[in-house]
Structure 1
Amino acid sequence: MQTIFVQFKCHPGQAYDVADLVVRTLEETSEIYSTSGDYDLLAKFYLAKDADIGHFVTSKLQTIEGVKDTFTLVTFKAFS
């Protein structure tokens, strides 16, 4: 399992619509938050170990209506 975090910059007024669509349609979604700062949303995704992260982001996330830009963080190890 691969864990990635993706920040979304949305077109004005579209952040809640984008968040709703991501949660409803992408089974890889763990959670999504509205945020302040340079990006509007922060989402956590769990991908299969052999999944192509770049393809997931460019084909499933960046193509969502209302998304202007994304920033992806790939994680290595979770500490608890």
Structure 2
Amino acid sequence: MQQPYLFNPGMNTEELEQWLSQQRLHVACYNNLLKEKAALEERLNEVNDSIEKLSSLGFEGELSFPCSPSPSPANAQK
């Protein structure tokens, strides 16, 4: 593995340390976002699979959906 080379004209060691700390935080945030994106894409695939299964059954007769419908605003006020 190649080691990075830092060229820091005009930076003292404290400034370099601060800059490196900022870079570390940005990279950690980026990596967390990539993990979150992967989890969301996996969940989206699960939802798409469920939609595909329900759609393939057709809509004749009664269907039992895994989710209960949300109450309409008119019914919620009664």
Q: Same fold (TM over 0.5)?
A: no
Structure showing greater Rg: 2
User: Which of 1 and 2 has higher RCO (CA within 8 Å, sep 6+)?
Assistant: 1
TM-score normalised by structure 1 residue count: 0.21
Q: Which has the higher strand share?
A: 1
TM-score normalised by structure 2 residue count: 0.21
